[in-house]
Amino acid sequence: MAQRRNLLLTIRYQGTNYHGFQVQKNAVTVAQVLQDAMEQVLGCREDIKGCSRTDSGVHANMFCVSVKTNSRIPCDSFVKALNVKLPYDIAVTDCREVPMDFHARYNCKGKRYVYQINNSHIKDPFAYRQVYDYRCPIDVEFCNRQCRDFIGTHDFSAFCAANSSVEDHVRTITDCGMVRSGERVTFYVEGDGFLYNMVRIMVGTILEISAGIKPAGCIPQIISSKDRAQAGATAPAWGLYLDRVFYDSESMKISGETADILEG
């Protein structure tokens, strides 16, 4: 009998055609399509563990999935075979063996999200559903200063969707800011975890401050209020990308180049 292995797959995907990552009964998701491809390659349907749950329409530059299998297919060959079976908007970029107790979600030490904005009065037809077209001028240096107020360990209840079932709203943000490259504005944030719609509400709040709807310096007060109604609108899903997933080398028993890739 073949010895069971635990594999860590790194994928990236455009979320436009999917109702998020997690399997759902009446909707097509990234997890379902990935499992379909794996079943064709492995000859059986394996259970997979994703590093996160992304909403409908959200994209991922890097998303990690762990899967236990009896297959002895070499990692490089598994990547090639899966990419043949997967549709154009999902790609496997890496596969490696990890310890049997490794879990893509529970061993995750942090994540980085980016939110892409086309800050122009002309929409970008080649980035349809991949960026948020926002016509009001954005003072990026001003917004970058406002973003710094998110950094630290806070109760982010005010930045969580009202229908969330999560009880613990305390999260630690280690970096947050905004940069511009031409007409493309990128909001970025790193932390140990994120609440439902948290990043999109953060973006919506910053844009309302930028537009003068909310006063400069109001973020600490909004955080202290723990009141969702005090924060800004939820920005559209299609501008959001899970950009990086962070693990430590000890949990994966890896070193050198691999650790550099995953620990950032």
Q: Tell me, yes or no, whether 118 and 232 share the same domain.
A: yes
User: What are the two backbone dihedrals, phi and then psi, of residue 23, each rounded to the nearest 5 degrees?
Assistant: -60, 135
Total of domains in the chain? 2
5-42 tens-digit pLDDT: 999 999 999 999 999 999 888 899 999 999 999 999 99
Residue 1 pLDDT exceeds 80: no
Q: What is the mean pLDDT of residues 44-55?
A: 92
User: What are the two backbone dihedrals, phi and then psi, of residue 70, each rounded to the nearest 5 degrees?
Assistant: -90, -5
Q: Residue 141 maps to which CATH number? A: 3.30.70.660
Catalytic residue list contains 124: no
Does residue 234 lie in a domain region? Answer: yes
pLDDT at residue 261, rounded to an integer: 44
Residue 48 structural domain: 5-107
Of 75, 72, 67, 30, which Cα lies nearest the Cα of 47? 67
C-alpha distances in angstroms, 126 versus 114, 123, 241? 19, 9, 17
Q: Tell me, yes or no, whether 154 and 189 share the same domain.
A: yes
110-125 tens-digit pLDDT: 999 999 999 999 999 9
Does residue 34 lie in a domain region? Answer: yes
pLDDT at residue 165, rounded to an integer: 76
- Read out DSSP for 139-206? -HHHHHHHHGGG-EEEE-GGGS-TT---S--EEEEEEEEEEEETTEEEEEEEES---TTHHHHHHHHH
> What is the overall mean pLDDT for the chain?
93
143-188 tens-digit pLDDT: 999 999 999 999 999 999 987 778 899 999 999 999 999 999 999 9
Q: How confident is the model at residue 3 (pLDDT cuts 50, 70, 90)?
A: confident
Q: Which of 47, 55, 192, 248 is catalytic?
A: 55
Q: Tell me, yes or no, whether 96 and 188 share the same domain.
A: no
